[in-house]
Structure 1
Amino acid sequence: MVVPVRKRLDRHEWAAAALDALAAGGLAAVAVEPIAARLGATKGSFYHHFRNRDALVDAALELWELRNTDAVIAATGDPADARAALRNLLGTVLGSVTAEPGDLARGHAVEMALQADGRHPAVAAALERVSHRRIEHLTALFADLGLAPDEAAHRALLAFTAYLGHVQLARATPDLLPRGAALDAYLDGMLAALTGAPRTP
C-alpha cells in the first residue's frame, strides 16, 4: 500500500489557510484540526510553527493586515499626485469588493467576520491598528490636496466609513453595488464629494 506523502507546510501557508477559514466562518472557524485536514497536513506540522491556536490567529491577522492594508497602500499610487492616488485607492478597494475572489476580496470577507468578532482581544487590537493605519493614510492624501488637518481627518473618516458600508452591502445586498462603468461614475461622484469645498462652520 502506498502511503501519501504529506506536504511540508510553512508558516505563511498555515496563516493563509486560517484567513480562508476566517473569511468563510469567522473566528470560530479557525480550528487546527479542520485546517490541517484541508491542507493535508498533520497537527505536528502546525505545532512546528505555532505554540497554539492563538498564535495562528495572530499570524492570520498579520497576514490580513499586510495584504489588505500595507500592500494596497503601496500599490495604489504615488502620494506626489494625491488626487490620482486617492482615486486609485478607492477604485481598487471598492472595485475588488465585487471582483472575482482573490486575496483582496477575501480580505474584505475577513474584515466583515472580524467586525462581528470585534470583542476578541486580538481581533480588537488588529481592527484598531488597521483602522488607524488606513485613516492616517487617507488623512495624509486629503492633506496633500490642501485641506486643513481637521478637515482632512474628517474626509478620511468619511471615505473609510463609505468603504466599510460598501463591503457590508457586498455581503448583504450585492445587487445594490455599482459595477463596470457605473462604478467609474460612482467613483467620480464620490471623489468630487470627498474633495469638494470644505464644510461651512
Structure 2
Amino acid sequence: MSDKNMQSEGEQPASPAPAPDQAANDAATANGNAAAAAPSAEDEDWQEQVAKLSARNAELADQFMRAQAEMQNVRRRAEDEIAKARKFAVESFAESLLPVADSLEAGLAHQGGTPEQIREGAEATLRQLKAALERNKVLEINPAAGAKFDPHQHQAISMVPADQEPNTVVTVLQKGYSIADRILRPALVMVAAPK
C-alpha cells in the first residue's frame, strides 16, 4: 500500500512546526504593530513640527500670492499713469501758448494800424511767446560773438576768417533751443577759422 493509503480517511497531515527565525519575525511584527498603535513622544514632536511647517508654508504662499497681485496692480496703475502723461503731456505747454495765439489773432483782426503799432504788437506777442517757452523750460541757445564753439549746443555752418580766437562763434545765424538740458535744436553759427 502506498503512503497515501496508509493515512486514515479522517486524519489530516500535520502542519510543520514554525521555524525559530519565523517565530522571532512574528514577535517583532507584533511589537511593531503595538508601537505604531501608540506613537512615541519623538513621533508626536515630528508631527507637530510638520504641522507647524505646513501652516507656515500655507501662510507664505498666501503672502506671495498677495504680493504678486499687488505688483500687478501697481504695474497696471503705473502703465495707466504713463499713458495719461503721454496723452496730456503738452496740456500745460498748450495752455501757456493760448495767450500768444489770442494776441496774434487780435493783431490780425486790427485794421489800419500804423507800422509802429504793428511792430509794438509783434514785440509784445514775441515777449509772451518767450515767457511761455521759459515757463515750460524751453531755453534759448544764443551764444555771444567770441564764445567758445560747443559742438553739443552749436552747429557750425561754416568757418570764416576773423580777428578773434580760432574755434569761437563769429555770428549766430539761427538760435538754438534746449529743454531740460536736452538740445531741441542746436544754434546755427559761423565759427572763426584757424589763422
Superposition TM-score tier, normalisation by shorter sequence = under 0.3
Q: Greater Rg, structure 1 or structure 2?
A: 2
Q: Specify which structure has the higher proportion of helix.
A: 1
Q: Specify which structure has the higher proportion of strand.
A: 2
Higher RCO structure, 1 or 2 (CA under 8 Å, sep 6+): 1
